[in-house]
Homo-oligomer: A and B are copies of this chain.
Amino acid sequence: MGTETAFTGAAQPPRRRGRPAKAHSLADDTRSSIVTAAAEEFARDGFDATSMRGIARAASVDPALVRHYFSDKADLFAEAIAAPMRPELIVRQALNGPTDQIGANLVRYIVDTLDQPAARARVVRLLHTALGQEFAARMLRQFMVREVLKRIAAELGDDNSEFRASFAATQVVGLVVARYGLEIEPLATASPDEVVARIGPVVQWHLMGNPLP
């Protein structure tokens, strides 16, 4: 894990530099071309070897413009690879409410997001790639464990947050693979409420690190 140090800086809000309102469509095009270039760079070189500067070069834009739209590499990565699942949003949603509901909140967020076909297709494709190529596996690990689960686990206790996060990942990734990738019935067509009721407590349990009674 020694080389994966790109996430240590606190995320800053994207800088706004007086982008004129009328240029919206052009700005959207620019932003979109940055995301496309980033996806290609990440796919070719992996997360660690890809830089904001290299992405700017590939997109033929000034590096300052990349930083105008994206606060850091993690932000751009999330957009490029797993846009529907923004890590800081997931963490905020999960921690929003009573401590004993964190697992349920997290599962609710995942199900609400991935019940949408476009997001589902994108995440299943990412998982497919991650099971075949190490750099994609590494990106998914960083995203799911370091950016999301470990942060939540750290809120629930000091000890072994990485251990707890990695075990919580088994239930989270298993839900995604079984419901959206393999489409195992009746899980695949179960209501969000049923899924939250059955999977939420398990994610909670893994995150807390409690012994099961």
Contact = CB atoms under 8 A, between A and B. Distances in A.
A1 interface: yes
Interface residues of A, number: 43
A151 to B, nearest CB: 15
B183 A170 contact: no
A162 B185 contact: yes
Number of copies: 2
A61 interface: no
A59 interface: no
A181 B137 contact: yes
A170 B162 contact: no
Contact of A167 (B132, B198, B205): B198
Given A140-B182, A206-B198, A173 B177 contact: yes
Given A137-B181, A170-B171, 19 more contacts: A1-B185, A130-B182, A131-B131, A131-B181, A141-B182, A145-B184, A166-B178, A166-B184, A166-B185, A166-B187, A167-B187, A167-B198, A167-B199, A170-B177, A170-B178, A170-B199, A173-B182, A198-B206, A201-B212
Interface of A: 1, 124, 127-128, 130-132, 137, 140-141, 144-145, 162-163, 166-167, 169-175, 177-179, 181-188, 190, 198-199, 201-202, 205-206, 212-213
